[in-house]
């Protein structure tokens, strides 16, 4: 039986990574190549407010239609799948518009959005419309992380007790590692967050505020503890560490990518993997998983059901710093606490 070909569209083509005028990683190019690999989509349309960027993209990938207004594209093209590959402050509006237009699946870049209220609204809109919303925490598909989760589930380090991670900031890169913590802990929601951030530069990443340094402790509902350290002096000797009752496991930044040690062992056990933690196969696998979910129903391992919980940790971290105290979840705010603190000059280069 002939398999269905899905109508695919992209909002925000941007420019290729490291090309002239590029401002990011050119993720639209990664998305289209991933979906083309499935041989199950036709690139029905693209939309970008920059005509030159749209034209460059069109020359390379030959969409059927090119739009400057994504809302017009959504209203006219009857799309099945849409990739949203713009900066985070645009995600919520675009995802909600796509859901309201009848799109069945949305593949959005991370992080979710720049306020917690926007995150909740886009999540709720897709739930209400039955839209399969995913975010690009694509490393879940890579071998080191898959094998790490298997080892934890098999009890290679005993019962999981604590997850630790470090990276540059909570919002941009930290969203990957927080999401991976939930992946390793079977998507169990968190119970509370206690954190502090430091910001003296007012730095922004893809238009969104990001701290210079942070420490964030939280507890999952099953009692497992989480610890994220970001920014200056945050090195913990690995990227992610899982501590168990009978040993510990580490995801490393380089090669090898994965190792673990049991209580009483003299040496680490290195797990040989054919991929590292930045493999280019991740997005094509995410695209294939999305197509599979379109064919048979159900969700993917990048489902917004997991992402909403890990994103909540980010905003709860900022809220804990604003309150100067522990935050019990679910998080009961709508704004961006870090932006609020910058606006009121409680943090940042113009701190009062």
Q: Is there a contact between 113 and 41 (Cβ–Cβ < 8 Å)? A: no
Does residue 352 belong to any structural domain of this protein? no
pLDDT at 15: 83
Same domain, 210 and 73: no
Q: What is the DSSP string of 8-69?
A: EEEE-----TTSTT--S--HHHHHHHHHHHHT-EEEEEEE-S-HHHHHHHHHHH--SEEES-
State how far the Cα of 69 lies from the Cα of 186, in Å rounded to an integer.
Answer: 40
pLDDT at 57: 96
pLDDT at 70: 98
Same domain, 239 and 285: no
Same domain, 90 and 177: no
Number of Cβ atoms within 10 Å of the Cβ of 273: 19
Q: The pTM is what? A: 0.96
Q: Find all residues with CB under 8 Å of 61, minimum gap 6, and list them.
A: 32, 36, 43, 46
Q: What is the DSSP string of 217-229?
A: EEEETTS-EEEEE
Same domain, 246 and 117: no
pLDDT at 1: 66
Tens place of pLDDT for every residue, the chain, 352 residues? 679 999 999 999 998 877 777 677 789 999 999 999 999 999 999 999 999 999 999 999 999 999 999 999 999 999 999 999 999 999 999 999 999 999 999 999 999 999 999 999 999 999 999 999 999 999 999 999 999 999 999 999 999 999 999 999 999 999 999 999 999 999 999 999 999 999 999 999 999 999 999 999 999 999 999 999 999 999 999 999 999 999 999 999 999 999 999 999 999 999 999 999 998 899 999 999 999 999 998 888 999 999 999 999 999 999 999 999 999 999 999 999 999 999 999 999 988 7
Q: Is there a contact between 155 and 195 (Cβ–Cβ < 8 Å)? A: no
Give the CATH number, domain containing residue 248.
3.30.360.10
pLDDT at 297: 86
Does residue 122 belong to any structural domain of this protein? yes
Q: Is there a contact between 190 and 329 (Cβ–Cβ < 8 Å)? A: yes
Give the CATH number, domain containing residue 14.
3.40.50.720
Does residue 103 belong to any structural domain of this protein? yes
Does residue 351 belong to any structural domain of this protein? no
Tokens of 161: 């007790």
State how far the Cα of 352 lies from the Cα of 350, in Å rounded to an integer.
Answer: 6
Tokens of 163: 């997850």
pLDDT at 20: 75
Number of Cβ atoms within 10 Å of the Cβ of 35: 26
Q: What is the DSSP string of 151-179?
A: HHHHTBTBSEEEEEEEES-TTTTHHHHHH
Boundaries of domain holding 73: 6-137+281-302
């Amino acid at each position: 039986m002939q398999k269905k070909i899905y109508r695919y569209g992209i909002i925000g083509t941007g420019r290729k990574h490291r090309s002239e005028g590029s401002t990011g990683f050119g993720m639209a190019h990664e998305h289209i190549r991933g979906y083309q690999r499935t041989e199950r989509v036709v690139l029905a349309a693209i939309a970008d407010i920059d005509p030159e960027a749209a034209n460059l993209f069109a020359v390379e990938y030959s969409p059927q239609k090119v739009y400057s207004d994504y809302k017009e594209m959504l209203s006219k093209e009857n799309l099945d799948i849409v990739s949203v590959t713009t900066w985070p402050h645009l995600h919520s509006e675009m995802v909600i518009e796509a859901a309201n237009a009848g799109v069945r699946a949305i593949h959005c870049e991370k992080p979710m959005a720049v306020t917690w209220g926007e995150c909740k609204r886009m999540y709720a809109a897709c739930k209400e419309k039955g839209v399969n919303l995913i975010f690009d925490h694509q490393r879940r598909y890579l071998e080191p992380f898959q094998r790490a989760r298997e080892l934890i589930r098999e009890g290679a380090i005993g019962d999981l007790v604590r997850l630790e991670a470090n990276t540059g900031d909570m919002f941009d890169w930290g969203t990957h590692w927080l999401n991976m913590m939930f992946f390793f802990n079977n998507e169990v929601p968190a119970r509370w967050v206690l954190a502090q951030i430091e910001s003296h530069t007012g730095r922004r990443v893809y238009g969104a505020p990001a701290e210079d340094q942070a420490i964030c402790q939280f507890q999952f509902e099953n009692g497992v503890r989480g610890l994220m350290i970001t920014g200056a002096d945050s090195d913990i000797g690995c990227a992610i560490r899982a501590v168990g009752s009978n040993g510990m496991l580490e995801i490393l930044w380089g090669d090898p990518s994965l190792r673990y040690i049991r209580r009483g062992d003299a040496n680490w056990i290195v797990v040989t993997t054919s991929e590292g933690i930045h493999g280019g196969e991740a997005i094509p696998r995410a695209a294939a998983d999305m197509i599979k979910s379109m064919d048979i129903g159900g969700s993917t391992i990048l489902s917004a059901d997991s992402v909403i919980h890990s994103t909540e940790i980010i905003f709860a971290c900022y809220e804990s710093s604003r309150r100067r105290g522990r935050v019990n979840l679910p998080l009961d705010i709508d704004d961006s606490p870090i932006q609020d603190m910058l606006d009121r000059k409680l943090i940042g280069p113009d701190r009062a």
